[in-house]
Structure 1
């Protein structure tokens, strides 16, 4: 009788553990370098950033988009969430520097996050809009929008 009870207890514990593991997968880290981002501050890494985001978006647990300690140049980059995303929560772990183009006059933004829920940005890195170089394109006086 005692061995049957012990076996039943082990089966219940194994079943409970299996449910817990299935309910919340481990945190997925999507490193932008995996998708071709080069930290030299010169090559446009926006496509690599979006590919890392798409991998994180499709993950069914917590996800991290990881930007390591290097300097990355990124043109206009749009991260779109919405219904297709399956993650529980997503974090942009920015440890490096992400530099903007100096001429964004043809765009209404640089880095955009659209329809993204449960997102945090962390890591101590920098989004460098290169204001000193881009300021000459400022048309705030002429364009109130």
Structure 2
């Protein structure tokens, strides 16, 4: 187990321990609260808003209409992506704040189109400014990233690295009281899942998969996020299984199967002589197989002590 009490760009204070420290591990989030009482909530099926599982339609408008209705509802509402169907989406931003708690049950598959195209902010699917949300369902989020990997400067050495940068597959930004569970996330264009500026998060029972040679496909990326638990998941990627960067605190990573990939990483921290920090990081019960690293702290400066 690794426990890091605080880590800065130039100076890190970390320690290893055989025992879980009682005061240094990520606290159990105040939420996510128990899953909504689905017997009392409104259910909106994306098909009722025009979604077509025909392998060619962009379902942005149908998903957005379902979201807008759910977000405006005064009662708890669930958006359903039905089982045994695949819906293509070019990109979508699910934006709050919403008037009541909201959930999305993905039973089927949400898939990106298999070609390179302009994606605003380089974010394929984003949930932003939402409180009290569950995303779950046993289905699949498929970034369809093969064409993006083939055109990466890490694969195509003559290609400029800033040219047509690949998007992050699934982003949660400025979300509070969030639960993400029981999903399969595969073949992201770049990062698989990004928690950014979030608070009180539980991510559990996730299967996150991309080929070992796929560039920059971090499994779960955590930035400026507090009180987050990453639990009981399997992550196989071409980069870090879990990466924890600047501004994150009270992070617990537990019971994870990692590999292939680059292991569990804190950082990189301190780029361009800046002061970056993370604190109260606990990593325990992680099984790594075929990874290039174990648990590591990465800094840009001269040393970490």
**Common fold, TM-score beyond 0.5?**
yes
Q: Separation in 2 of the partners of 1:45 and 1:55?
A: 16
TM-score computed with the length of structure 2 as normaliser: 0.36
Corresponding residue of 1:98: 110
Counting only pairs closer than 5 Å after superposition, residues 94-133 of structure 1 correspond to structure 2 as 94-107=106-119, 108-133=122-147
- Per-residue deviation, 1:50: 0.6
**Aligned-residue RMSD, C-alpha:** 2.2
Q: 1:80 aligns with which of 92, 95, 99?
A: 95
Q: Separation in 2 of the partners of 1:138 and 1:118?
A: 37
TM-score computed with the length of structure 1 as normaliser: 0.72
Unmatched tracts of structure 1, length 5 or more = 1-24
Contact 1:103 1:137 in 2 (8 A): no
Higher relative contact order (CA 8 A, sep 6+): 1
C-alpha change, 1:137 and 1:65, in structure 2 (3 Å) is farther
Corresponding residue of 1:52: 66
Contact 1:75 1:101 in 2 (8 A): yes
Equivalent residue pairs, number? 118
- Per-residue deviation, 1:92: 0.7
- Per-residue deviation, 1:47: 0.7
Corresponding residue of 1:8: none
Q: Which has the higher strand share?
A: 2
Structure with larger Rg: 1
Counting only pairs closer than 5 Å after superposition, residues 27-42 of structure 1 correspond to structure 2 as 27-42=41-56
Q: Separation in 1 of the partners of 2:57 and 2:117?
A: 20
Unmatched tracts of structure 2, length 5 or more = 1-38, 155-159, 166-305
Q: Secondary structure of 1:43's match?
A: coil
- Per-residue deviation, 1:38: 0.8
Deviations 1:86-139 (A, max 9, x none): 11x211100011110233452211111111111111111111001223322435
Q: Which has the higher helix share?
A: 1
Corresponding residue of 2:150: 136
- Per-residue deviation, 1:26: 3.2
